[in-house]
Each structure stands twice: as C-alpha cells, then as structure tokens.
Amino acid sequence: MQAFLKPHRIVLFLIALALVVWCATTMNWTWLANPKYQAMAVEGLWRTIWLTVVTMVIGFLLAIPIGFAQAAGPAWLAWPARAFCTVIRGTPLLLQIWLLYYGLGSLFPGNPWIRDSVLWPYLRESWPYALVALSLSVAGYEGEVMRGAFKGVAHGQLEAAKAMGMPRFTMFRRIWLPQAVQSVLPTLGGETVLQLKSTPLVSTITIMEIYDVAGRVRRDTFIIYEPLILLAVVYMILTALIVLMFRWFERRLPTRTA
Amino acid sequence: MACPPPSQISALELLGFGECGWGISLVWGLGNSIVIALGAYSLGFLIGIGGAFGKLYGGPILKDLLAAYTTLVRAVPELVLILILFYAFTGALNEILLSWGYDRIEISPIVTGIVVLGLVQGAYQTEVIRGGILAVPVGQLEAARAMGMPSLTMARRITLPQMAANALPGLANLWLNATKDTALLAVIGFSELTRATSSASASTKAFFVFYPAAMALYLIISLTSTLLIGRIEKWARRGQRDVRT
C-alpha cells in the first residue's frame, strides 16, 4: 500500500479516473440498457470462457502423448509428432481455423457416409470446427513444452524406478508424468491467457462469443468505439482473473525452493 | 480466353501464374505479409529498446506509463487491439488534419497494419529486452560507469551487445509471432496471404489446394527464419563460454 501511494501515482490515478469519467459521461452507452444486447453479452461471455477452458483441457490432454512421443517415443511416432508441432506453430491460427471450417466443411456434405452418420447434425454447425482448431493449437504449442518437460525429469528417478522393477506403465504414471506436469504448471497460466486471446478468431466462422457480440452491437447501432472499449475492458478482467487464479493455485502446490 | 470451371483445372495450374492461376495474387499477399511483418517488427524493436531503457532507468511517471502500456496491450487480444487502433489511428489522424484545415487523407492499409502491429510488438519486445538487459552482469555496467563512460556509449558498447545474446530467443519468438499476426489483418479485409488464400479458395472451391499451399508458404517463412536466427544467435554468443564444456 505504501508503494502505491506515491504522489505521482495519485496524480496518474486521478488522470486515469478523469479519463474513465469522461468516457462514461460523454460517450454513448445507451445501448447497454437494451435487454437484447445484455442477454447476448452474457451468452457471448459464457461461450468465450467455455471455449477457453474446454480447449485448454482437451489440448493439454492431447499434448501429453505428443510431447512423450517426441521425448521418448520411437522414430515413427516422434517424427509425426514433431511435424504436427512444427505445422501448428509455424502457421497462423486463423488459417488453420479457416482450413478446417471451409475446407472440411465443404468436403463433408458430398460424402454420403458422413451425411448419414449420427454426427452430421453437429458437423453442420460451426462450433465443432472451432473446438477442434483451438484444441489442436493448444496441443501443438503445449506438445513442444511437454517434450522439454519429459526430457527434464531427472534421470536418476527413472533409473531408480527401473531398478525397483517397476512396470513401464506404472513408472510413467507414478514418476514420469507427475513430475513433467508439475514442471509445466507455472507456464500454464500464460498459455491460458494466450488461449483466451485466440478465441476471438472463431468469430470469423460465425461463433457468437463476446468479440462477435461487440461486432454485432457495432453493426446494429453504428456506434464505433464504445463496444470495442468495453470489450477490451472485459478481456482485461478475464486475463486478470486467469492470472489471479493460477497464482492462487500455484501457492497451494508444494514446491521446494533452494 | 475464358477459363474452364475450376474443377477442371489441375492443382498446379490453379497455383500457377497463368491466366487461370492464382499464383500472382498469392505471391502478392505473401509479399504484403512479409513487408508488414518486417515493418511492424522494426517499429516494435524501436519501441522495445526505448521502452526497456525507460522501464529500467526512466523517471517514476515514465515507468508507470510504460507498465500500463505493456500490461494493457498484453492483456487484450491482438484482434481487438487491431480494431481499436485501426479506427483510432485513422480517426485521430484525420481529426488532427481537419482541425488544421487540411483535407481528409486515406492512409494506406500497409502503413496502418505496420503501425498497429508495431505497437503490439513494442509491448512484448519491451518486456523481452528489459529481461535481457537485467541479465547483463552488474559488474560490467559498474566498471563502465567507473571508467567514466557516457551512458549512450555504455548502452552501445556494453549493454546492447551483451543484452543481444540474452534477448535473442525471446525476440526470435516474437518475430515468428509477427509473421503469424499479419494474418489477423485479413479480418479487417486487408489482402495479405491469408485473405488472398481465402478469396482464391472461395471462388474456386479448391480449399485443399490453396490452404495447404499457404501453410507451406508460412512454414517456409518460419523455418528459414529459425535457421537464420540460429546463425545470428551463434554470432551474438561469440566469446561466451559454452556451458557444456
């Protein structure tokens, strides 16, 4: 608190406050009172959070085998895994999303086997493509991180497990995986923020998340700046929440610091 | 000569430079992407160097303002920033011009793209370069100061060369980000590689010709960059002891 109350900080804070008050009073915020937009905003916010959380979980689960294949797998598994990571990390996410949505989306209707399958009602919508594209993106980036984490587990630990006659899968489950996961946990917060910041890309394939809601409000009301400013504030709050959550989470983990 | 329907043209011809090919539009898009990435990265580097020195050695007000800049920019999606800055940048410039009695001008999309992505890059590069400077051994800076070296000479001869080796991995990552972030300009309708790809594939329906081709082009950019950066890093680390030996 002491560090916060320096004279120049108070002045800067007052200037910032004046700016906020100026924005709140002189700009056009009447659209916020419209219940239609309120409902859309809540739904959009929920979709953004849902997409971030679900794709992070799926992506991370995919990243474990991808990282392990690169770190310890045979060449015929390591090479495809490495190629997958290179392609995902080397091309823009927007391009990947469009390839899946427009490319696969144009291929599926011509295939009677898919048209008759139970999945067809889902494949006609756009969210499965967004979910797959965002998950694969996490898998590619995290797969590379997990490769390093699996390689970073101390060799003595694995040798000790082998010497005790532990079966290979038990060794992976009890020794290798937990230590690798623990070593990447501090980076997960940053990755989640990056993932949150990639979600607006799926608005280009007609998914109504919070970025798309702001766009709709702008198109409907011809108000240019206000929805964008509020949108930026919403993302800042979401980012702050993610950072705080992971900080809290990290503090609960037992760590040994030298 | 009218082109046959796209379904009757071979993939090679579609990608080619002939009358029915989209090669020219793709290469044009690629060129735009590279120009914007280079411009934005250079602008970001200037902001980053200035921002890092400001954050480390600036006055309290400058430090706080830079902290606000880097935090805000890194917390908001690039796409939202691009939209805000795209309207704010052109809008503010035109308002200033009008108030001075000039006519409105139309700013070329390339310049807008470079400025917007450059401001985003600047925030990230500030943090990376700041970290690189912090990792320079303090004794080196103290020695330079003790010798009475002026601070600009010190920055040029001591801080920046030693910072380079520490900051290069981070800066390399940001360069790859810059090349990929140019794709975001497709959303505001700017014809870089991703937009060129999507319009080519939308009018020919040959999605699995154009998208893989564009991906290959992006991959070529990123792989050659990685190769070059490896060389630059080797050069920046000259004279440093290898940890393994």
* pLDDT category of residue A245 using cuts at 50, 70 and 90: very high
- CB-based contact, B154 to chain A, within 8 Å: no
Residue ranges per structural domain of chain A: 43-252
Give per-residue burial for A209-244: e unless 16+ CB within 10 Å, then b.
bbbbbbbbbbeeeebebbbbbbbbebbeebbeebee
Residues of A in contact with B84 (CB under 8 A): 225, 228-229, 232
pLDDT one-digit tens code per residue, A12-60 = 889 989 988 998 888 888 888 889 999 999 999 999 999 999 999 999 9
Of all residues in chain A, what percent carry a pLDDT higher than 70? 97
> What is the per-residue pLDDT for B240?
77
Q: Is the pLDDT of residue A258 over 60?
A: no
Cβ separation A240–B75 shorter than 8 A: yes
Mean pLDDT, residues A238-254? 87
pLDDT one-digit tens code per residue, B175-232 = 999 999 999 998 888 888 999 998 888 888 888 888 999 999 999 999 999 999 989 9
Residues of A in contact with B66 (CB under 8 A): none
d(CA A216, CA A168): 54
CA distance A218 to chain B (A): 12
First to last CA, chain B: 67
> What is the per-residue pLDDT for A3?
67
Of all residues in chain B, what percent carry a pLDDT higher than 90? 46
> What is the per-residue pLDDT for B119?
93
Of B184, B187, B222, the CB nearest to A90: B222
- CB-based contact, B32 to chain A, within 8 Å: no
For residue B189, give the chain A residue with the closest CA. A204
Reported ipTM: 0.86
d(CA A137, CA A118): 26
> What is the per-residue pLDDT for B2?
63
pLDDT one-digit tens code per residue, B42-59 = 999 999 999 999 999 988
Tokens of A235: 């993302």
Q: Which domains does chain B have, with CATH numbers?
A: 22-236 (1.10.3720.10)
Cβ separation A92–B218 shorter than 8 A: yes
* pLDDT category of residue A192 using cuts at 50, 70 and 90: very high
Contact criterion met (CB below 8 Å) for A180 and A150: yes
What one-character DSSP code corresponds to residue B108? P
pLDDT one-digit tens code per residue, A100-146 = 999 888 888 888 887 888 888 888 889 999 999 999 999 999 999 99
> What is the per-residue pLDDT for A185?
84
Of A12, A94, A240, the CB nearest to B183: A94
Cβ separation B222–A98 shorter than 8 A: no
Residues of A in contact with B223 (CB under 8 A): 86, 90
- CB-based contact, B147 to chain A, within 8 Å: no
Mean pLDDT, residues B96-115? 83
Cβ separation A95–B194 shorter than 8 A: yes
d(CA A89, CA B87): 30
> What is the per-residue pLDDT for B100?
85
Q: ∠ CA B210-A97-B172 to the nearest 5 degrees?
A: 85
CA distance B245 to chain A (A): 20
Of A86, A103, A199, the CB nearest to B207: A103
CATH architecture of A43-252: Orthogonal Bundle (1.10)
